[in-house]
Structure 1
Amino acid sequence: MSLQMRYIAKRLIYAVLTVWVLISITFLLMQMLPGDPFSGLKVINPEIKASLATKYGLDKPVLEQYGIYVNNLIHGDFGSSIVSGRQVTDIIAQAFPVSLELGIRALIFAIILGFLSGIIAALKHRTKWDTLMMILVLLGVSVPSFIIGALLQYFFGVVLFQFTGIHFFAIIGWGSENSKILPAFALAFGSMASIGRLMRSSMLDVLGQDYIRTAKVKGIKKKDIILHHCLRNALMPVITVLGPMTAVLLTGTFAVEYVFSISGLGKYFVDSVQANDYPVIIGTTLFFGMFLVLCNLIVDILNSCIDPRVRLGGEENR
Structure 2
Amino acid sequence: MGKFVVQRFLWMVAVLVVVSATTFTLMHAIPGGPFSQEKALPAQTLAQLNKKYNLDSPLFAQFVDYVGDILIPVVMTGKQQKSLDHDYLINLKLPFEDNATLRWMNFGPSFKSTSRTVNDIFRDNFPISFQLGIIALIISGVMGIPLGILSALKRNTIYDYVGMGVAIVGVAVPVIITAPLLQYFFGVQLKWLPLTGWGNPNQMVLPSLTLGFGEAAIIARLTRASLLQVMNNDFIRTARAKGLSERRVIIVHALKNSMIPVVTVFGPAIAYLVTGTFVVETIFGIPGMGRFFVTSITGRDYPVIMGTILIFAVLLVVVNALVDIAYVWLDPRIRYS
1:143 aligns with 2:167: no
Unaligned 5+ segments in structure 1 are 162-166
Distance 1:255 1:150 in 2: 12
**C-alpha displacement at 1:257, in angstroms?**
1.3
Change in CA separation of 1:199 and 1:288 when aligned onto 2, cut-off 3 Å: same
Match of 1:245 among 261, 266, 269: 269
Pair 1:37 & 2:47 matched: no
Question: Are 1:205 and 2:235 counterparts?
Answer: no
Counterpart-to-counterpart distance in 1, 2:31 and 2:202: 41
Among candidates 116, 126, 135, match of residue 105 of structure 1: 135
- Residue in 2 that maps onto 1:79: 108
Tell me by how many angstroms 1:37 deviates: 0.7
Report the Cα distance in structure 2 between the residues aligned to 1:293 and 1:212, rounded to whole angstroms. 35
Structure 1 residues 134 and 305, CA gap change in structure 2 (3 angstroms): closer
Identify which range, 49-58 or 23-32, moves more after superposition: 49-58
Measured in 2, the distance between the counterparts of 1:269 and 1:168 equals 31
Q: Which residue identity does 1:98 align to in structure 2?
A: I
Matches within 5 A, 1:1-318: 4-39=1-36, 44-75=41-72, 76-85=105-114, 86-158=116-188, 160-161=189-190, 167-209=191-233, 212=236, 222-304=246-328, 307=331, 309-312=333-336, 315=337
Contact 1:98 1:263 in 2 (8 A): yes
Distance in 2, matches of 1:227 and 1:310, equals 21
Question: TM (normalized to structure 1)?
Answer: 0.85
Displacement of 1:305: 6.1
Q: Which amino acid aligns with 1:14?
A: W
For 1:164, the equivalent position in structure 2 comes to none
Distance 2:335 2:275 in 1: 27
Alpha carbon RMSD of aligned pairs, Å?
Answer: 2.5
Tell me how far 1:216 sits from its aligned partner.
6.3
Deviation at 1:113, TM superposition (A): 0.3
Paired residue type of 2:56: D
Residue 292 of structure 1: CA displacement?
1.3
**Which AA in structure 2 matches 1:109?**
I
5+ residue gaps, structure 2? 73-104
Structure having the higher helix fraction is 1
Moved more, 209-218 or 280-289: 209-218
> Which whole-Å deviations, capped at 9, do the CAs of 1:125-182 have from their partners, x for residues lacking one?
2233322222222232233223322322232233x24xxxxx2111211011011011
CA pair 280-261 structure 1, distance change in 2 beyond 3 A: same
The residue matched to 2:229 in structure 1 has which SS?
helix
Distance 1:305 1:203 in 2: 18
State the identity as a percent: 43
1:199-235 deviation digits (Å, cap 9, x = unpaired): 1112222333456567667876554544444434433
Letter aligned with residue 232 of structure 2:
G
Aligned counterparts of 2:232 and 2:331: Cα–Cα separation in 1: 25
SS in 2 for 1:39: coil
> What residue identity is the alignment partner of 2:319?
C
| CA pair 49-201 structure 1, distance change in 2 beyond 3 A | same
2 CA distance for matches of 1:68 and 1:233?
48
* Cα distance, 1:73 vs structure 2: 2.5
Deviation at 1:24, TM superposition (A): 0.1
TM-score normalised by length of structure 2:
0.81
Moved more, 208-217 or 286-295: 208-217
Higher relative contact order (CA 8 A, sep 6+): 1
Distance 1:122 1:233 in 2: 14
Deviation track 1:70-115 (CA, whole Å, cap 9, x = no partner) reads: 2223232211111112110111111111111111111110111001
Q: Distance in 1 between matches of 2:126 and 2:282?
A: 14
Q: In the alignment, which residue of structure 1 is the partner of 2:90?
A: none
Task: Tell whether the 8 Å contact from 1:170 to 1:178 is kept in structure 2 after alignment.
Answer: yes
Displacement of 1:268: 1.6
Q: Could you tell me how far apart the structure 2 residues matched to 1:219 and 1:5 are?
A: 41
- SS of the aligned residue for 1:71 comes to helix
